[in-house]
Amino acid sequence: MYRLCRRSASALLRHDGARYNIHAIATPIFSATCSGDSVVETDAKTRWYSVLASGRCNTSQSSAALNLNKNGFFLGNRYESTAAFDASSPPPPPLEKYEYQAEVSRLMDLIVNSLYSNKEVFLRELISNASDALDKLRYLGVTEPELLKDAVDLDIRIQTDKDNGIITITDSGIGMTQQDLVDCLGTIAQSGTAKFLKAMKDSKDAGGDSNLIGQFGVGFYSAFLVSDRVVVETKSPKSDKQYVWEGEANASSYTIREETNPEKLLPRGTRLTLYLKHDDKGFAHPERIQKLVKNYSQFVSFPIYTWQEKGYTKEVEVDEDPAEANKDKQDETAEKKKKTKTVVERYWDWELTNETQPIWLRNPKEVTTEEYNEFYKKTFNEYLDPLASSHFTTEGEVEFRSILYVPAVAPMGKDDLINPKTKNIRLYVKRVFISDDFDGELFPRYLSFVKGVVDSNDLPLNVSREILQESRIVRIMRKRLVRKAFDMILGISMSENRADYEKFWENFGKYLKMGCIDDRENHKPLAPLLRFFSSQSEDEMISLDEYVENMKPEQKDIYFIAADSVASARNTPFLEKLLEKDLEVLYLVDPIDEIAVQNLKSYKEKNFVDISKEDLDLGEKNEEKEKVMKEEFGQTCDWIKKRLGDKVASVQISNRLSSSPCVLVSAKFGWSANMERLMKAQTVGDTSSMEFMRGRRVFEINPEHPIIQNLNAASKNCPDDNDALRVVDLLYDAALVSSGFTPENPAELGSKIYEMLGMNLQGKWSVPDAAEVQYPAATQSQTSQTYEAEVVEPAEAGGQK
């Protein structure tokens, strides 16, 4: 396509004195079917595509008018032009502009009830507005001291009337003029704070004040969450008049009037009066207000006072009984004593509610350990000091301050391992509490035991400031928080007091193992924190660093065995050869250990190897000996495989046994005996996958054991002997149990054992009964023959009778 420029088209495109205007914006292409003599050498008719005219035109006339040769610009091809219709064409219809219309009462209802999911945040929003008003006054007072001429303290005061359901919030801030009321309260979603911040940025000699909280212009309307009617009385130091703004819920209008009652005049600032709804009058209780202030606005930089009932004790006189009075008159000499009692005198007074200072804003070098511990106990209602704490400030792409703690004990019930919403991380934005209800946005599930506070000025929050939106900033913040948590835990592990980390591991070891499964990106910082028992350290857990340090020079892998206890792991036949070679084996006795280690795969370029799996390589191979053994026992392996059938995948000569006759090992990529046991115990276990994962087992024999040698002879001399075949069956069942598997038919195994015992013990220790003794039958001649007894007299000594 060719596009004509404006100047060329202006010079060329003239026809019968009419001038065509060219526009930069492309218009739809109209086609004109041209007839007549062609200007090209051939007599073929040519279609001329142009936006210059519509209908039929004479090609030759048009060509001449344009003074084009036979290789003309348009003829014989399709081109796009930006020419429009001439000036005589009717102009396009004018655009009509409309503004969006809104049902104000409906819009207010949507704002109030859609943005805020929790009614109690109304107090947080109104206190934040009051704090902004005080900050503005403090900022403007630097350049305009006359604004602070009224010596009024910069504070916020909240008073309640629980009987009538009224809450009054008063601040001594900048206040508002009549026009400010119209702009800020009468215009929805216009933030006076945002406007003030913009003016500050535009000012050449003013720096930004990050203490200002508001930004959306809807926080004030949260008052209608709990109120039927709101009255705003405000006095600006820039005006001599005080104005009253009044609005009702679900109303489309509001009123503004000048305050004329001298008793209600303010020296400066704003007073909000909330007339609560019938169902929300519980917010007017002083204790409820004090609790909400402590929760949401504890760290606002200005003092917040609440109107609280107080009491003190005093002694008052008690009226005497008339009978006792007469008795005292009779005894004039007795000393008269006045009787009193202790009573509590009640009164109302202002009480400072936010007395705890945000220590995360201070320099870490200036904060003592006692202050960190005290802050931890107050903030999280703990009674024990934390094991460790970390106070840091992050600057750069994301700026925030934080203090993290590792608790001394795990939560009761250990529910945090399952439920990530632990309320352990309190998020603040400009010292105002936002939320502690997160689902893994700031911390992963396996670090949910870490407690702390995070304060930032530029978090991506939604309008209600209750939901932390997913964004790149949040991901960066999460990454840095996790790294600091790992550094804090690593500090505990490197402590001189080894008992500190033992205590930590006892409470939170399962959490870190869960991290090996959930968080592949952080395997590197997680692995040094893990602890396990081993064959050389059955009483005290060791780290992977200690294991690697104790490895033999020729050892290439990290060996482990999974079992239900240290005793079971110690007595397993898989360990026999490794113990002979003094190779250390890790004992994975926690149900989650095996899965965690399998997800780690390696540590410091050393692979984790399960010694209960097939193809175990212990580093020593004698090919000649293996060849001799295969020739000698190859027939025996085939004979045993034929007897066991599909129970085993193969029968092999073992290199891991020394004292046991046989062992049953798992497939390299299947479940181990321990994993099979755990999966069977699952409530919602999948039987189909269980059959698939446990399908392949290898039966390994020890050629040096006498039983195997006897079976080797039986396989060659009498392979069909029933006793030999029963021994093979019993060996398989015994290996099944000793290797950690569960026999499919325990009763059958028991009967085989009883049968074998009966064969070996028959008559071994029994004593024959006299009644059951059978003597051989005597012959007739022996019974009929009579014998005479010979009497022998005793001889005397010396041969004398």
Residues 318-336 pLDDT 10s: 776 666 656 655 555 445 5
Q: What is the pLDDT of residue 681?
A: 78
- How would DSSP label each residue in 302-355? S-EEEEEEEEEEEEEE-PPPHHHHHHHHH-TTSPP---EEEEEEEEEEEEE---
Q: Is the pLDDT of residue 660 over 80?
A: yes
**Mean pLDDT value across residues 387-416:** 85
Q: What is the pLDDT of residues 522-568, one digit of tens each?
A: 999 999 999 999 999 999 999 999 999 999 888 899 999 999 999 99
What average pLDDT does the structure give for the chain?
A: 78
Q: What is the pLDDT of residue 117?
A: 76
Q: What is the pLDDT of residue 370?
A: 94
Among the residue ranges 12-16, 254-258, 350-354, the one predicted with the least confidence is 12-16
Q: What is the pLDDT of residue 99?
A: 67
Q: What is the pLDDT of residue 777?
A: 52
Identify the band that residue 801 occupies on the pLDDT scale cut at 50, 70 and 90. Answer: very low
> How far is 207 from 328, CA to CA, in rounded Å?
81
Q: What is the pLDDT of residues 564-592, one digit of tens each?
A: 999 999 999 999 999 998 999 999 999 89
Q: What is the pLDDT of residue 623?
A: 82
Q: What is the pLDDT of residue 664?
A: 93
Which amino acid is located at 308 in the chain? Q
Sequence-distant (≥ 6) Cβ neighbours of residue 612 within 8 angstroms = 561, 562, 572, 574, 665, 666, 672, 673, 674, 739, 740
Q: What is the pLDDT of residues 720-774, one digit of tens each?
A: 988 899 889 999 999 999 998 888 888 888 888 888 788 777 777 766 655 555 5
Q: What is the pLDDT of residue 484?
A: 94
Q: Is the pLDDT of residue 86 over 80?
A: no
Sequence-distant (≥ 6) Cβ neighbours of residue 299 within 8 angstroms = 354, 356, 357, 358, 428, 431, 432, 433
Q: What is the pLDDT of residue 463?
A: 44
**Mean pLDDT value across residues 103-125:** 77
- The percent of residues above 70 in pLDDT, for the chain, comes to 72
Q: What is the pLDDT of residue 397?
A: 79
Residue 529, class by beta-carbon neighbours within 10 Å (0-12 exposed, 13-18 middle, 19+ buried)? buried
Q: Is the pLDDT of residue 508 over 70?
A: yes
Q: What is the pLDDT of residue 442?
A: 82
Q: What is the pLDDT of residues 36-84, one digit of tens each?
A: 343 334 444 334 444 444 444 444 444 444 444 444 444 444 444 444 4
Higher-pLDDT residue of 458 and 664 is 664
Q: How far is CA 388 from the centre of its chain?
A: 21
Q: What is the pLDDT of residue 140?
A: 86
Q: What is the pLDDT of residues 458-482, one digit of tens each?
A: 776 554 455 556 677 788 888 999 9
Higher-pLDDT residue of 115 and 269 is 269
> How far is 259 from 244, CA to CA, in rounded Å?
6
Q: What is the pLDDT of residue 275?
A: 96
Q: What is the pLDDT of residue 622?
A: 77
Q: What is the pLDDT of residue 199?
A: 57
Q: What is the pLDDT of residue 551?
A: 92
> How far is 700 from 656, CA to CA, in rounded Å?
9
Q: What is the pLDDT of residue 453?
A: 93
Q: What is the pLDDT of residue 88?
A: 61
**Structure pTM?**
0.70
* Tokens (6 digits) for 28: 């739809």
Q: Is the pLDDT of residue 420 over 50?
A: yes
